[in-house]
Amino acid sequence: MSIPDDLLYTNEHEWVKLSGSTARVGITDFATDSLGEVVFVTLPEVGADVKAGESCGEIESTKSVSDLFAPVTGAVTALNQAVIDAPETVNSDPYGDGWLMEIEVSEDNPDLLESDAYAALTAEA
Protein backbone atom coordinates (compact mmCIF):
# COMPACT_ATOMS: atom_id res chain seq x y z
CA MET A 1 0.00 0.00 0.00
CA SER A 2 1.56 3.27 -1.13
CA ILE A 3 1.97 6.02 1.50
CA PRO A 4 4.17 8.83 0.13
CA ASP A 5 6.30 10.43 2.83
CA ASP A 6 5.90 13.99 1.53
CA LEU A 7 2.19 14.11 2.38
CA LEU A 8 0.19 14.55 5.58
CA TYR A 9 -2.77 12.33 6.44
CA THR A 10 -5.99 12.19 8.44
CA ASN A 11 -7.40 9.36 10.50
CA GLU A 12 -10.18 9.21 7.92
CA HIS A 13 -7.78 8.42 5.06
CA GLU A 14 -7.54 11.78 3.33
CA TRP A 15 -4.13 13.08 2.26
CA VAL A 16 -2.92 16.68 2.14
CA LYS A 17 -0.09 18.18 0.15
CA LEU A 18 0.87 21.63 1.45
CA SER A 19 2.43 24.19 -0.90
CA GLY A 20 2.67 27.46 1.01
CA SER A 21 -0.88 28.13 2.21
CA THR A 22 -2.49 25.93 -0.46
CA ALA A 23 -3.49 22.40 0.45
CA ARG A 24 -4.16 19.87 -2.28
CA VAL A 25 -6.45 17.12 -0.96
CA GLY A 26 -7.24 13.57 -1.97
CA ILE A 27 -7.98 10.15 -0.50
CA THR A 28 -5.33 7.53 0.11
CA ASP A 29 -4.46 4.33 -1.66
CA PHE A 30 -5.69 2.50 1.45
CA ALA A 31 -9.05 4.29 1.17
CA THR A 32 -9.53 3.50 -2.50
CA ASP A 33 -8.61 -0.12 -1.90
CA SER A 34 -11.20 -0.35 0.87
CA LEU A 35 -13.91 1.42 -1.08
CA GLY A 36 -13.56 -0.34 -4.39
CA GLU A 37 -14.11 1.43 -7.66
CA VAL A 38 -15.12 5.06 -7.14
CA VAL A 39 -18.10 5.86 -9.36
CA PHE A 40 -19.12 9.32 -8.14
CA VAL A 41 -17.68 12.15 -6.10
CA THR A 42 -19.58 15.03 -4.55
CA LEU A 43 -17.31 17.98 -3.72
CA PRO A 44 -17.99 21.40 -2.17
CA GLU A 45 -18.23 24.38 -4.52
CA VAL A 46 -15.29 26.62 -5.23
CA GLY A 47 -15.41 29.40 -2.65
CA ALA A 48 -17.07 27.25 0.00
CA ASP A 49 -15.60 27.36 3.49
CA VAL A 50 -14.72 23.97 4.91
CA LYS A 51 -13.73 23.08 8.45
CA ALA A 52 -11.15 20.48 9.41
CA GLY A 53 -12.79 17.22 10.49
CA GLU A 54 -16.20 18.08 9.07
CA SER A 55 -17.84 16.37 6.14
CA CYS A 56 -17.51 18.37 2.93
CA GLY A 57 -18.41 15.82 0.30
CA GLU A 58 -19.04 12.19 -0.56
CA ILE A 59 -17.10 9.43 -2.21
CA GLU A 60 -19.40 6.85 -3.73
CA SER A 61 -18.21 3.43 -4.84
CA THR A 62 -20.13 0.55 -6.33
CA LYS A 63 -20.81 -0.88 -2.90
CA SER A 64 -20.87 2.06 -0.53
CA VAL A 65 -20.87 5.78 0.06
CA SER A 66 -18.45 7.49 2.43
CA ASP A 67 -18.12 11.01 3.76
CA LEU A 68 -15.19 13.09 2.61
CA PHE A 69 -13.82 14.99 5.60
CA ALA A 70 -12.02 18.29 5.14
CA PRO A 71 -8.45 17.75 6.36
CA VAL A 72 -7.85 21.47 6.89
CA THR A 73 -9.90 24.61 7.54
CA GLY A 74 -10.14 27.14 4.74
CA ALA A 75 -11.80 28.12 1.48
CA VAL A 76 -12.02 25.79 -1.51
CA THR A 77 -10.11 27.33 -4.42
CA ALA A 78 -10.14 24.58 -7.04
CA LEU A 79 -11.83 21.27 -7.89
CA ASN A 80 -10.31 18.55 -10.03
CA GLN A 81 -12.67 18.41 -13.00
CA ALA A 82 -10.87 15.31 -14.30
CA VAL A 83 -12.05 13.37 -11.25
CA ILE A 84 -15.58 14.71 -11.47
CA ASP A 85 -15.70 13.54 -15.09
CA ALA A 86 -13.88 10.24 -14.51
CA PRO A 87 -14.18 9.24 -10.84
CA GLU A 88 -12.21 6.02 -11.39
CA THR A 89 -9.10 8.26 -11.64
CA VAL A 90 -9.20 8.27 -7.82
CA ASN A 91 -8.47 4.53 -7.90
CA SER A 92 -5.88 4.55 -10.65
CA ASP A 93 -3.81 7.47 -9.33
CA PRO A 94 -4.96 8.49 -5.83
CA TYR A 95 -1.97 10.72 -5.08
CA GLY A 96 -1.57 12.19 -8.58
CA ASP A 97 -4.29 12.78 -11.18
CA GLY A 98 -6.87 11.56 -8.67
CA TRP A 99 -6.59 14.59 -6.37
CA LEU A 100 -9.95 16.04 -5.39
CA MET A 101 -9.68 19.74 -4.49
CA GLU A 102 -7.47 22.56 -3.29
CA ILE A 103 -8.07 24.59 -0.18
CA GLU A 104 -6.59 27.96 0.85
CA VAL A 105 -5.67 27.11 4.43
CA SER A 106 -6.80 29.61 7.06
CA GLU A 107 -5.97 27.55 10.12
CA ASP A 108 -3.39 24.84 10.76
CA ASN A 109 -4.65 21.39 11.71
CA PRO A 110 -2.33 19.96 14.37
CA ASP A 111 -4.05 16.57 14.13
CA LEU A 112 -2.67 15.72 10.68
CA LEU A 113 -0.44 12.64 10.68
CA GLU A 114 3.01 12.16 9.21
CA SER A 115 3.36 9.24 6.79
CA ASP A 116 4.88 6.89 9.38
CA ALA A 117 2.02 7.50 11.81
CA TYR A 118 -0.51 6.96 9.03
CA ALA A 119 1.27 3.76 7.99
CA ALA A 120 0.96 2.53 11.58
CA LEU A 121 -2.74 3.42 11.57
CA THR A 122 -3.47 1.48 8.40
CA ALA A 123 -1.35 -1.46 9.50
CA GLU A 124 -3.75 -1.91 12.43
CA ALA A 125 -6.82 -1.86 10.20
Partner 1 sequence: MTIETRLSPLQRVHEAAGARFTDFAGWNMPLRYGSELEEHRAVRERAGLFDLSHMGQIIVDGPQAGEFLDFAVTGRLSTKAVGRATYTMITEETGGIVDDLVVYRLDETLFMVVANASNRVVVGQLLRERSDDFDVEVSEPRLDRALVAVQGPAAASILAGLGVEDLASLKYYWSRPATVAGVDVLLARTGYTGEDGFELFCDADDAVALWEAVAAAGESAGLIPCGLACRDTLRLEAGMPLYGHELTRDLTPFDAQLGRVVDLKKENFVGREMLAKAAETQPSRLLVGLSGQGRRAARDGYTIMADGAEIGVVTSGALSPTLGHPIALAYVETARAVTNATVEVDIRGAATAMTIVDLPFYHRPRP
List contacts with partner 1 (CB under 8 A): 33, 36-37, 39-40, 42, 58, 60, 62-65, 88, 91
Provide the minimum distance between the beta carbon of 18 and partner 1 in the complex, in angstroms, as a whole number: 31
Residues of the chain by 3-state class (helix, strand, coil), percent to 5: 20, 40, 40
**Nearer of residues 60 and 93 to partner 1, judged by Cβ:** 60
DSSP secondary structure string for all residues of 29-60: HHHHHHH-SEEEEE-PPTT-EE-TTSEEEEEE
**Nearer of residues 85 and 124 to partner 1, judged by Cβ:** 85
**Nearer of residues 18 and 39 to partner 1, judged by Cβ:** 39
Cβ–Cβ under 8 Å, residues 105 and 23:
yes
CA gap 20, 33 in Å, rounded? 30
Provide the minimum distance between the beta carbon of 19 and partner 1 in the complex, in angstroms, as a whole number: 31
Provide the minimum distance between the beta carbon of 11 and partner 1 in the complex, in angstroms, as a whole number: 22
